[in-house]
Amino acid sequence: MLAEVYRMLVLNLGEPPRQFEWRHEDPNSKPTAPKSYTPRNFYEEFVGVELGDYVNVFSDPSKEYGKHYEIRMTSNIQGGRNVRFVNVRPEVLKAAALKSVLANEPVWFACDVGKDQSREHGIMALDMYDYEAVYGVDLSMTKAQRSLYRESVPNHAMVFVGVDMKDETPVKWLVENSWGTDRGSKGYWAMYDGWFDVNVYCSVLKKDYIPDDVLKAFEQPVIQLPVWDPMWSFVN
């Protein structure tokens, strides 16, 4: 069947090119000379990382820590593997992210971006808005409760590119967002460390910065999670 689909696409779109020409702007905003690439050597020059060196690490307190999970129906290709991750305590996730950033390794992460943030100023910080003072209702919930009730899910992805430290402890994180340069500081946001604890759920991390016991957990048989699990939003 796949061969038939390929034939139909070729009849309509033509044979996929074996190589292509590409140019880009250099750091001084000047266009480079066109250069021919194959898909493989383009990947090697501009991506240049071994994707097998990276794994998904989650921190969802509604699930048991130290276990290997798989979320059903999250593969984006027929016959591909679903999203798998090891669930860790929040301090483990944060420590690995910190090691990565300090090693000049950007960190992709997913969070609940709708909570306690200012799009105008590009700030994510707890208690920006005092809802309890307005409504007179205690709205506090644990992170596990918020996850179980789907009051909080990982609904947006960004990248950690820097961190502000005091006495070797993170104070706030520099985040590159995708909402345009008119938000935050030319597209960069400040995430205070307390916001990380409450609203960050997962990261893609290089194995070099992950504890051995967490890497070992990836060898466990997977625990299947249904499509209605809150963490499914990670790939939705």
Which domains does the chain carry?
A: 2-46 (no CATH), 51-235 (3.90.70.10)
Three-class secondary structure of residue 235 per DSSP = helix
Parallel, antiparallel, or unpaired for β 107-111 and 156-166?
antiparallel
Which regions of the chain are under pLDDT 70?
A: 236
Q: How many other β-carbons are positioned within 10 Å of the β-carbon of residue 33? A: 6
Residue type, 3: A
| Residue 13 tokens, joined | 């779109």
Closest CA to 202 of 169, 227, 233: 233
**pLDDT score at 21:** 95
**pLDDT score at 236:** 64
* Contacts made by residues 116-119, CB under 8 angstroms, sequence distance 24+: 116/195, 116/198, 116/199, 117/189, 117/195, 119/179, 119/183
